[in-house]
Amino acid sequence: MGMPMARNLAGAGFVVRAWNRSSEKAEVLAGAGVTLCDTAAEAAHGAHVIITMLSDADAVLGVMEGAGEAIGSLHDAVWLQMSTIGIAATLSLRTAR
């Protein structure tokens, strides 16, 4: 779901930077006006809105708090966590930092 969303946002005129754990999967987005980044933190840096759409809660935490942590880029950004991870996992992300 992340690729179509990024493509649609870029097509609507939004500046979109994207990172994917499997970089080769994201390459198709470059032709759609999306800037591809080497790390999640690079994609999130300076953004007003950060969208995560991953397979499970561990993946979300790994991206946001793991190597290249994107969570450090949140500052005043809105984090739209769109992964289907359940209520308990979503609530646990509120304390991430």
pLDDT at 73: 64
Assign 97 a pLDDT band (cuts: 50, 70, 90). low
> Using one digit for the tens of pLDDT, what is the confidence trace for 8-32?
999 999 999 999 888 888 899 999 9
Which CATH architecture does the domain made up of 2-93 adopt? 3-Layer(aba) Sandwich (3.40)
> Using one digit for the tens of pLDDT, what is the confidence trace for 39-70?
888 888 889 999 999 888 888 888 877 655 66
Q: What is the number of helices (H) and of strands (E) in the chain?
A: 5, 4
Which uninterrupted H or E stretch holds 35?
Answer: strand 35-36
Give the start-to-end residue ranges of the domains of the chain. Answer: 2-93
Tell me how many degrees the CA angle 63-60-16 measures, rounded to the nearest 5.
65
Query: Token pair for residue 5?
Result: 């969303």
